[in-house]
Amino acid sequence: MTTAAAAVATDRPGVDRRERVIRFLAQAAQASHVEVLRWERLSGGAIQENIALDVRVEGGAFAGEHRWVVRTDASSAVSVSHSRPEEFALLAAAHAAGVKVPRPLWLCDDGAGPAFFVMARVPGMTAGHRLVKDDALVPDRALLARELGENLARVHAIAPPRDDLAFLGNVPDDPARERVAAYRANLDALGAAGVNPVLEWGLRWCELHAPAAWPAVLLHRDYRTGNYLVHEGRVAAVLDWEFAGWGDPREDIGWMFARCWRFGRGERVAGGVGTARDFLDGYARVSGHMIDAAATRYWQVMAHIRWAVIALQQAERHRSGAESSLELALTAHIVPELEWEILELTQPA
Amino acid sequence: MKVEPAGAELLRVARASLLESLLPLLPAESHYTARMVANAIAIAARELEQPSTAGAVDAARLAREIREGRHDAGEIAGLLREITRARLAVSNPRLLAPVDKR
């Protein structure tokens, strides 16, 4: 791109942003020219958005056509500019560890605008309600479940200390009890909306029944159906790394297995798409660790508590007037079914 | 004096009108919102018909006692189940159906 791009009228912020991205890419790819074939907003929320970008690159090591995704802070976002660089670092670490993720290409954190990064665009589908129902999308469920287990084991092979992931903060010595304390603090912060005897029962149970801690590793913290791409029946990419942190590896497995993420296919414990056995076999093949039933049950209780806390927080955003939304308001009404599952799981054997 | 039909009945018929008359006329991208509205109406109707909770448990006190470890023996498991059952009756009564089809 030419320097004339810098003169784009400032009353067209969308165009401005696009010019900034293309100018950066031309430089990063050492290209003589980058032609935009497609620029389309894919999805996004208040915090970040994804843009599909097809380009034809002339010159340099990337000469040719490419399908990329630009992940950027939304134009309206303020002071969240650190999150994109962190996400890029997580993606790079996962990619290097052999996890199926969109290949991260370049990060732009030059301070001239919101940070953004560019990654390969991976074909596939995330929609949980379709993946659990449509056997044409998942012809071999055992294979998919094994691959999900294998991929998670590769995430968990990333262990602290890591200079590139220093932003993840302290490594917990006792991840389970640290979680219990954090969720109690979350409930307390909600005031009257956080008063819930059944969640308290679940938390107390988790406090009393914590299995011996495993050394903390990198957790994805939202590893579930809906957050990975499936292409031709196989795991194509694990997405949504914004909750990643250090913790007990079995926390991720409990989240994946939690009934609330089975999309109505309760009998398929691994995210509604496959069996626990296949998932755990895949996990053990890569990690060397077989996860026992007591630990998966324990971390499923924790998963339901976590989802209930998040649901209460979301409903409170509506109730408090911070963000009036029917969807947020209804979220509170999934809490009783999470309570029901907590009571089921914590029954004496 | 109460004027019939009562609130819950109004909500039920309003919900049926939404789902049967309006939903088919809406573009596909609005169906999700329409179904959320229908769900909200159903919850509100069930809440109106929920038996009075006067004399019910002091939830804040129970929550505090559980956290303090004063119910570790599990003698309150039945009470907790009743609390959640009553909440499910409003939020998601399908879970209480005799045949569990979750």
CB proximity list for A218: less than 8 A, separation 6 or greater: A93, A155, A156, A158, A159, A160, A165, A168, A244, A245, A246
The predicted complex's ipTM stands at: 0.88
Q: What local confidence, expressed as pLDDT, does residue A6 receive?
A: 39
Closest CA relative to residue A132, chosen from A222, A220, A226: A226
Q: A259: which chain B residues are within 8 Å (Cβ-Cβ)?
A: 102
Question: Rounded mean pLDDT of A266-289?
Answer: 96
Question: Rounded mean pLDDT of A239-247?
Answer: 92
Q: Does pLDDT of A81 surpass 50?
A: no
Contact B59 A327 (CB under 8 A): no
The per-residue pLDDT for range A145-171, each reduced to its tens digit, is 999 999 999 999 999 999 999 999 999
Is the bond leading into A161 cis (omega within 30 degrees of zero)?
Answer: yes
Q: What local confidence, expressed as pLDDT, does residue A194 receive?
A: 95
The per-residue pLDDT for range A307-341, each reduced to its tens digit, is 999 999 999 999 998 888 899 999 999 999 999 99
Q: What is the DSSP letter of B82?
A: H
Q: What is the DSSP letter of B93?
A: G
Flag whether residue A265 sits within 8 Å of chain B, measured between CB atoms: no
Q: Does pLDDT of A75 surpass 70?
A: no
Closest residue in A to B90 (Cα–Cα) = A333
Flag whether residue A201 sits within 8 Å of chain B, measured between CB atoms: yes
Q: Highest mean pLDDT range out of A103-112, A191-200, A340-349, B53-62?
A: A191-200
Closest CA relative to residue A38, chosen from A9, A79, A58, A67: A67
3-state secondary structure labels for all residues of chain A: CCHHHHHCCCCCHHHHHHHHHHHHHHHHCCCCEEEEEEEEEEEECCCEEEEEEEEEEECCCCCEEEEEEEEEECCCCCCCCCHHHHHHHHHHHHHHCCCCCCCEEEEECCCCCCCEEEEECCCCECCHHHHCCCCCCCCCHHHHHHHHHHHHHHHHCCCCCCHHHHHHCCCCCCHHHHHHHHHHHHHHHCHHHHCCHHHHHHHHHHHHHCCCCCCCEEECCCCCCCCEEEECCEEEEECCCCCCEEECHHHHHHHHHCHHHCCCCCCCCECCCECHHHHHHHHHHHHCCCCCHHHHHHHHHHHHHHHHHHHHHHHHHHHCCCCCCHHHHHHHHHHHHHHHHHHHHCCCC
CB proximity list for B55: less than 8 A, separation 6 or greater: none
A246-263 exposure pattern, b = at least 16 Cβ within 10 A, e = fewer = bbbbbbbbbbbbbbbbbb
Question: Which carries the bigger pLDDT value, residue B5 or residue A116?
Answer: A116
What percentage of chain A carries pLDDT values higher than 90?
80
Element (H, E) at B91: helix B77-91
Q: What is the DSSP letter of B54?
A: T
Question: Which carries the bigger pLDDT value, residue A272 or residue A79?
Answer: A272
Cα(A82)–Cα(A87) distance, integer angstroms:
9
Q: What local confidence, expressed as pLDDT, does residue A260 receive?
A: 85
Q: What local confidence, expressed as pLDDT, does residue A33 receive?
A: 93
Question: Rounded mean pLDDT of A10-28?
Answer: 80
Question: What backbone torsions phi and psi does residue A108 show, to the nearest 5 degrees?
Answer: -115, 110
Least confident interval from A1-15, A137-151, A275-289, A291-305: A1-15
Contact B71 A201 (CB under 8 A): yes
Q: What is the DSSP letter of B52?
A: P
Q: Assess contact for A63 and A115: CB atoms under 8 A.
A: no
- Residues A220, A224, A226: CA angle, nearest 5 degrees: 120
Of B69, B95, B102, Cβ closest to residue A204: B69
Which band of pLDDT confidence, cut at 50, 70 and 90, is reported for residue A8?
very low
Flag whether residue A333 sits within 8 Å of chain B, measured between CB atoms: yes
The per-residue pLDDT for range B21-40, each reduced to its tens digit, is 999 999 999 999 999 999 99
Q: What local confidence, expressed as pLDDT, does residue B2 receive?
A: 62
- Residues A11, A17, A21: CA angle, nearest 5 degrees: 155
Cα(A34)–Cα(A338) distance, integer angstroms:
50
Which band of pLDDT confidence, cut at 50, 70 and 90, is reported for residue A77?
very low
Best to test chain A binding among B36, B85, B91 (most A CBs inside 10 Å): B91
A59: left (phi over 0), alpha (psi -120 to 50) or beta: left
What percentage of chain A carries pLDDT values higher than 70?
91
Which band of pLDDT confidence, cut at 50, 70 and 90, is reported for residue A16?
confident
Q: Does pLDDT of A27 surpass 80?
A: yes
Flag whether residue A125 sits within 8 Å of chain B, measured between CB atoms: no
Contact A330 B43 (CB under 8 A): yes
Contact A340 B80 (CB under 8 A): no
Contact A337 B95 (CB under 8 A): yes
Question: Rounded mean pLDDT of A205-212?
Answer: 96
Flag whether residue B38 sits within 8 Å of chain A, measured between CB atoms: no
Of A192, A204, A347, Cβ closest to residue B67: A204
Q: Does pLDDT of A79 surpass 80?
A: no
Of B37, B80, B92, Cβ closest to residue A197: B80
Question: What backbone torsions phi and psi does residue A116 show, to the nearest 5 degrees?
Answer: -145, 160
Contact B71 A266 (CB under 8 A): no
Q: What local confidence, expressed as pLDDT, does residue B99 receive?
A: 54
Cα(A236)–Cα(A288) distance, integer angstroms:
23
Name the average pLDDT for chain A: 90
In DSSP terms, A40 is beta-bridged to A52
Which band of pLDDT confidence, cut at 50, 70 and 90, is reported for residue A1?
very low
Q: What local confidence, expressed as pLDDT, does residue A99 receive?
A: 98
Question: Rounded mean pLDDT of A240-244?
Answer: 90
Contact A197 B66 (CB under 8 A): yes
Q: Does pLDDT of A255 surpass 90?
A: yes
Flag whether residue A200 sits within 8 Å of chain B, measured between CB atoms: yes
Q: What local confidence, expressed as pLDDT, does residue A17 receive?
A: 84
Flag whether residue B36 sits within 8 Å of chain A, measured between CB atoms: yes
Cα(B61)–Cα(B63) distance, integer angstroms:
5
Count of other CB atoms within 10 angstroms of residue A274:
26
Q: A201: which chain B residues are within 8 Å (Cβ-Cβ)?
A: 66, 71, 76, 80
The per-residue pLDDT for range A292-303, each reduced to its tens digit, is 999 999 999 999
Name the average pLDDT for chain B: 88
Cα(B41)–Cα(B47) distance, integer angstroms:
10
Contact A335 B91 (CB under 8 A): yes
Flag whether residue B18 sits within 8 Å of chain A, measured between CB atoms: no
Which band of pLDDT confidence, cut at 50, 70 and 90, is reported for residue A227?
very high
Contact A198 B84 (CB under 8 A): yes
Count contacts between A and B (CB, < 8 Å).
75
Side chain identity at residue A96, one-letter code: A
Of A200, A330, A340, Cβ closest to residue B88: A340
